[in-house]
Structure 1
Amino acid sequence: MNFKPSLSLLDATMVVAGSMIGSGIFIVSADITRLTGSSGWLLLVWLITGFMTLTAALSYGELSAMFPKAGGQYVYLKEAYNPLTGFVYGWSFFTVVQTATIAAVGVAFAKFTAYIIPYFSEDILVWKNISRAQLLSIAVIFVLTFINTRGIKSGKLVQTSLTLIKLLSLAALIICGLVLLKPAVWTANWEDPWHLHSITTTGPYTIIAALGAIAAAMVGSIFSSDSWNNIAFIAGEVKNPQRNIGLSLFLGTLIVTFLYILANITYLAVLPLQEIAFAEKDRVAVAASHVMFGKAGTVLIAAMIMISTFGCNNGLILAGARVYYTMANDGLFFRRAGKLNQAAVPEFALWIQCIVACAWSISGKYGQLLDMISFVVVGFYMLTIAGIFILRKKRPDAERPYKAFGYPVLPIIYIVMGLSFCILLIIYKPGFTWPGLIIALAGIPVYYIVTSSRTGKP
């Protein structure tokens, strides 16, 4: 049984946008403001991130057109480099990147549910350190996994409908914020827009420390803009993948980047910088909605974030299992993960992903893991985009229905920016970078253990 091409261009674009928009845009601007201390730098951090995301998406279009099958980035790295590189990516994807992200988004859903239904408060413990919020997160992951085992049509219905709702809701929040703009607040926020400084410490940054602060600030924005490449993982289920995957990558990332910039302009239009930086539990969107709509605004934004995180997790769950399916067919993952059920979806891969994600939900460590995910993710993005240069040399005559826009300039710019970001994080946030690197590198001995057991060689 093979995958069924069921996803239209609209569906594919909604997978891209829906997987990107979770809870980050409603929260991380607080930390960015604390690190940069000004409105201009707040927006510039989001603009830099948006530029990197769009550049990477445009570059990925060439790879997705060359290899229009399930597996996405795992396949690209395997083809450009070797099976080991592909496996290390798949290992990192399964152990941390995708599963911990699913867990964190699930817990975010539960936390905002508690605004409306206090019964699910994260402060109410059921057993030892396990809260009702964590149990609700597990329930949501389980339900979405079950939905996706019923077939791609069930998953795409949830994804497309919820993504359209949250795009319209985010647009409505932006419009209301701009209409209800507070002139005094806006003027005060732009009095000294390029004074880069930390709000939580005294004294200006040195030049090197300023670069480190910008890199640290980008951790949140990069995480909020990640998972745009999930559509490439399910390429085998997209109609006319050579055209629609690249186009959906561009359209989805462009729409989300545009909305993210406008959302931050909305925050600046109604909240003083201090209130953005020190919003309760970093919930900037909640604070903005309270200013615009009063007490009812908290409930409205909580409901909106519930929809956003629910749809985001559906996209993550839908796409992630296809990577393990492809790895299994290469003999590098559990054999059963390489089988499709009667609905033509990798059911075992979905459930094993569910188990690991649920484990992260109750571990209590997902927050720290997500901080370091940005380092690992950007590192693999750089390797993948560099693979475009390698494949053009290795396979100059290969069919390329689409070629990377701006090649070689834009891909080189992304690699330079990504390398700078990773180096600065190693220097200024070693506690969040080395663990991620160690987990990724642990895949190397695992690869040799797997391949030696498969071939029977020592």
Structure 2
Amino acid sequence: MSIKPRLNRFDITMIVVSLIIGTGIFKTPGEVALRTGSVNLFFAAWVVGGVVTLCGAFTFAEIGARYPTTGGFYKLFSYCYHPAFAFMINWVAIVATTASVAAVALIGAEYLNPLVLPPAMQNQTGNKISTIVMVLIVYFINFMGIKTSARTQNLLTVFKVAMIALLCLAVFLSEGSARVNQAVMPQGSTVASFGLALVAVFFTFTGYQQTINFGGDVIDAKRNIPKGIFAGIAIVILVYMAVNYAYYSVLGMGGLQQNTGLAAKMASVVFGPIGSKITSILMFISVLAYVNVNIMSVPRMYYAMAEDGVLPAIFKRVNPRTQTQVFGMSFFVATVLLILLVVSSFGEVLNYAIFFECLGLSFGAIAIFILRKRTRELDGTGIYTIKLYPLVPLVFIVVYWFVIISIFMAQPKAMLVCLGAFATGLMIFYLAKWRAKAAID
């Protein structure tokens, strides 16, 4: 059963927003403050992150317009490079996305547990229990169908953005007393500190590239995917800049560097004593939205791989009524739960997740140069094309490789882990091809 288009432009815009805004914005500003130690560098990191993300959005919007297909992120690499390289990159991308979902869910559990669990359960075990329950709730919602998932996503995303806007009211209600906290300057060079700050910023900004996985699900994909990406990115940048300005105005750099309960502190200014409960609700909604959109997206990558025969055919089975991939969805959720059982904290997965993300995104952006040559017949047909080409994709690629090098310099082990993941993906690819050939013979 093939996938049929059922998502409109508003659906894809909300998907973009939810792919990017998890709960990271309530945690990573503290990481950025710790890694910069300076007000100017703190805001510079977020501005650079926004500008580079726009460059990436322009690039992937054209990719989505030129090559709209289900599982587009995998298909893109297979078409522009080689199926083996496509599998390796997407294997790593899936690992990174899965780790990101686990990391975001763990952040949400930190906020939710004081509201729903007794004091004795407010520990690492309690965090894992809460996170697993949240993932399973969204898993069952997705069984109801792709359109139901999209409607749920729209509702959760609108509610989440509205709640974040309410938190920003703290700027007008706070006396700024927390700004007396003394900021701590990080060790090392300014360039190295800025590079590591961008790691946290890009972790908070990434995810929109997965929009091209819905090429087969979107009505009039060549027009609606680029417009949905632009609208979604614009909303995200506006939200992030407002939240970070509010954090600084209320807490100051010293308060940000304490890196605990940032959203709760803001909520207490706006809502008073019940602020912590309001924050817990916001975290719960954020986690549900982020997990839901990834359960929608990642199985589409499995679908594309199964179409090429590098994953078993069961991964491309689609329920004709609901348009869901029951097995692919179940496999992804099981992998998230496995990571949650072995990982305990947000910090453990941040550098590894963004290292994988940066590699995949940079090679994805490089593909635009190949794609333009191979789809010349689309020029002048009205599809979206990047203005200031090739400057825009080049800016994106160079900055992302700066982040990759920064992670490697600070944590060489990340490179070894990544190379190991690539090698594993390559072995799986050729094993699948060998088994398929043996079955035919």
TM-score, length-normalised on structure 1? 0.89
The residue aligned with 1:128 is: none
CA distance in 1 between counterparts of 2:120 and 2:87 reads 39
Alignment of 1:267-416 (within 5 A): 267-279=247-259, 282-342=260-320, 343-364=322-343, 367=346, 368-398=348-378, 401-416=383-398
Q: Per-residue deviation at 1:90? A: 2.2
The residue aligned with 1:213 is: 193
CA contact (8 A) 2:24 2:104 kept: no
Structure 2 residue ranges without an equivalent (≥5): none
Q: Per-residue deviation at 1:375? A: 1.4
The residue aligned with 2:216 is: 236
Whichever residue aligns with residue 108 of structure 1, its letter is I
Is the aligned partner of 1:418 residue 2:400?
yes
Range with greater deviation from structure 2 (230-239 or 283-292): 283-292
Alignment of 1:61-140 (within 5 A): 61-94=61-94, 96-119=95-118, 123-124=122-123, 131-140=125-134
| SS of the residue 1:406 aligns to | coil
The residue aligned with 2:30 is: 30
| SS of the residue 2:2 aligns to | coil
CA distance in 2 between counterparts of 1:365 and 1:177 reads 32
Q: How many residues align?
A: 436
Whichever residue aligns with residue 431 of structure 1, its letter is K
CA deviation profile, 1:366-414 (whole Å, cap 9, x unmatched): 6323321111111111111111112223443346622123211111111
Give percent identity, aligned residues only: 25
Range with greater deviation from structure 2 (314-323 or 294-303): 294-303
CA deviation profile, 1:101-141 (whole Å, cap 9, x unmatched): 2222233332221121233876457xxxxx13212322222
CA contact (8 A) 1:35 1:198 kept: no
Whichever residue aligns with residue 185 of structure 2, its letter is I
| SS of the residue 1:68 aligns to | coil
Q: Are residues 85 and 171 of structure 1, via their aligned partners in 2, closer, same or farther at CA, if it must alter by over 3 Å?
A: same
Whichever residue aligns with residue 145 of structure 1, its letter is Y
Q: Are residues 331 and 436 of structure 1, via their aligned partners in 2, closer, same or farther at CA, if it must alter by over 3 Å?
A: same
Q: Per-residue deviation at 1:55? A: 0.8
CA distance in 2 between counterparts of 1:112 and 1:136 reads 10
CA deviation profile, 1:306-350 (whole Å, cap 9, x unmatched): 111111111111111110011111101122011111322211100
| SS of the residue 1:237 aligns to | coil
Q: Are residues 198 and 375 of structure 1, via their aligned partners in 2, closer, same or farther at CA, if it must alter by over 3 Å?
A: farther
Range with greater deviation from structure 2 (144-153 or 390-399): 390-399
The residue aligned with 1:446 is: 428
Range with greater deviation from structure 2 (447-456 or 436-445): 436-445
Whichever residue aligns with residue 180 of structure 1, its letter is L
The residue aligned with 2:55 is: 55
Q: Are residues 264 and 321 of structure 1, via their aligned partners in 2, closer, same or farther at CA, if it must alter by over 3 Å?
A: same
Q: Are residues 237 and 157 of structure 1, via their aligned partners in 2, closer, same or farther at CA, if it must alter by over 3 Å?
A: same
Whichever residue aligns with residue 363 of structure 1, its letter is V
CA distance in 1 between counterparts of 2:177 and 2:135 reads 44
| SS of the residue 2:41 aligns to | helix
CA contact (8 A) 2:97 2:353 kept: no
Q: Are residues 60 and 200 of structure 1, via their aligned partners in 2, closer, same or farther at CA, if it must alter by over 3 Å?
A: closer
CA distance in 1 between counterparts of 2:26 and 2:360 reads 26
Q: Per-residue deviation at 1:294? A: 3.4
Alignment of 1:426-441 (within 5 A): 426-441=408-423
Whichever residue aligns with residue 273 of structure 2, its letter is K
Q: Per-residue deviation at 1:244? A: 0.7
Q: Per-residue deviation at 1:179? A: 1.5
CA distance in 1 between counterparts of 2:73 and 2:39 reads 35
Whichever residue aligns with residue 143 of structure 2, its letter is T
Structure 1 residue ranges without an equivalent (≥5): 126-130, 192-196
Tell me how large the CA RMSD over aligned residues is: 2.3
CA distance in 1 between counterparts of 2:85 and 2:175 reads 52
Whichever residue aligns with residue 251 of structure 1, its letter is A
CA contact (8 A) 1:90 1:327 kept: no
